[in-house]
């Protein structure tokens, strides 16, 4: 990593769609910003294929909005960024690929069909310009198997290495920059099973009701989780960010309707798996500081 003395601590979260930034990293982004860490959000697509759930829009209004959904979600993303006090928001400029097996997977501009080198190059450019010490993205399953989540995970892993290699993409005319650590967003599988069972028993509605989601394989095996960040003081910031995504998260969504006790459990901690590190690995209990080992 070059110029460590002159480079401020910078944390980068790389996500697939608007609203993804809130679920797994919203509290961490807000907490680090509060501590004076520079925070950068990279979003690969604008969620053009998502369902519109805003109850203030009737079916005709939704139909009219759909061709302009990317513009609307760009506005919502800006509001979320403001709520989480993110200093910099960058876009990769690809199109939402839709859920796995849908016709939108084959759209010529879909992120899942993007030329891999071009996608990596775009992210390398942002990494070299922003100089993050820590990058966070998804695991190989993309959290729940969405094609765009899987694609951005592949792209981020490749860009993490390529950004620090001067022979890669010299045409960018940017100094190579090697981030120190790469993390994957996680949620303990044991906690997910427990939470979903409690939600079902209490009549709460949420992703566990969606037959398209195989909840049995969601979550991360507990034994590979390395990091737990306490973001309970930033739950309200996360709630404001959720509200900003009004076309994607309805007022009756589980994120707003679950009990206060469950909300604190679900949104009060954010979990990660340390995938790569150029510094000494944390040992012992779960790491509490995602910037541990960095000055």
Question: In angstroms, what CA-CA distances link 61 with 18, 104, 258?
Answer: 21, 22, 29
Calpha distance 91→14 (Å, rounded): 10
Is residue 135 within a helix (H) or strand (E), and if so which, with residue range?
A: strand 134-137
Residues 202-209 have a mean pLDDT of 70
- pLDDT-based confidence at residue 213 (cuts at 50, 70, 90): low
Helix axes 69-83, 20-34, angle to 10 degrees: 30
Mean of the per-residue pLDDT values of the chain: 91
Q: Does the CA dihedral 177-178-181-186 come out positive or negative?
A: positive
pLDDT bracket for residue 56 (50, 70, 90): very high
Beta-bridge partners for 276: 182
280 pLDDT exceeds 80?
no
10-189+220-277 — its CATH code? Answer: 3.40.50.10320
Give the best-scoring range by mean pLDDT among 98-102, 141-145, 176-180: 176-180
- Nearest Cα to Cα of residue 13 among 30, 4, 36, 150: 30
| pLDDT-based confidence at residue 1 (cuts at 50, 70, 90) | very low
- What pLDDT sits at residue 91? 98
* Contact between residue 146 and residue 99 where contact means Cβ atoms under 8 Å apart: yes
pLDDT tens digits, residue range 91-104? Answer: 999 999 988 888 88
Long-range contacts made by residues 31-36, C-beta under 8 angstroms, separation at least 24? 31/229, 31/231, 31/233, 31/234, 32/290, 32/291, 33/84, 33/85, 33/86, 33/87, 34/85, 34/234, 36/9
Q: Please determine, for residue 5, whether its predicted confidence score (pLDDT) is greater than 60.
A: no
The residues spanned by each domain of the chain are 10-189+220-277
Separation between Cα atoms, residue 109 and residue 97, nearest integer Å: 8
- Which strand ranges, in their side-by-side order, compose the sheet holding 269-277? 88-94, 38-45, 10-15, 134-137, 181-186, 269-277, 227-230
Which pLDDT belongs to residue 64? 96
Q: 273: helix, coil or strand?
A: strand
* C-alpha pair distances (Å), 267 with each of 3, 110, 155, 160, 233: 36, 31, 27, 28, 10
Beta strands (DSSP E) in 187-265 are 227-230
Quote the pLDDT of residue 212.
Answer: 65
pTM confidence score: 0.92
């Amino acid at each position: 990593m070059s110029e460590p003395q002159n480079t401020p601590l910078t944390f980068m979260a790389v996500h697939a769609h608007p609203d993804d930034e809130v679920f797994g990293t919203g509290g961490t982004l807000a907490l680090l910003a509060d501590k004076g860490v520079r925070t950068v959000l990279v979003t690969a697509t604008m969620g053009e294929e998502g369902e519109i759930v805003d109850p203030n829009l009737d079916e005709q209004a939704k139909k009219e909005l759909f061709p302009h959904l990317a513009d609307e979600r760009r506005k919502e993303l800006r509001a979320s960024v403001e709520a989480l006090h993110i200093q910099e928001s960058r876009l990769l400029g690809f199109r939402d690929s839709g859920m796995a097996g849908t016709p939108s997977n084959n759209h010529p501009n879909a992120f899942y069909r993007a030329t891999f080198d071009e996608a990596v190059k775009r992210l390398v450019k942002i990494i070299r310009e922003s100089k993050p010490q820590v990058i966070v993205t998804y695991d190989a399953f993309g959290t729940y198997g969405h094609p765009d989540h899987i694609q951005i995970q592949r792209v981020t892993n490749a860009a993490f290495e390529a950004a620090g290699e001067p022979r890669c993409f010299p045409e960018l005319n940017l100094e190579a920059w090697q981030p120190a650590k790469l993390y994957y967003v996680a949620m303990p599988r044991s906690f997910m099973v427990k939470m979903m069972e409690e939600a079902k028993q209490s009549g709460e509605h949420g992703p566990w009701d969606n037959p398209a989601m195989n909840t049995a394989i969601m979550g991360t095996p507990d034994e590979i989780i390395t990091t737990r960040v306490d973001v309970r003081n930033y739950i309200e910031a996360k709630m404001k960010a959720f509200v900003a995504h009004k076309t994607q998260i309805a007022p009756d969504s589980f994120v707003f309707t679950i009990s206060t006790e469950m909300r604190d459990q679900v949104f009060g901690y954010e979990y990660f798996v340390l995938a790569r590190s150029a510094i000494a690995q944390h040992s012992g209990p779960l790491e509490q500081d995602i910037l541990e080992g960095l000055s």
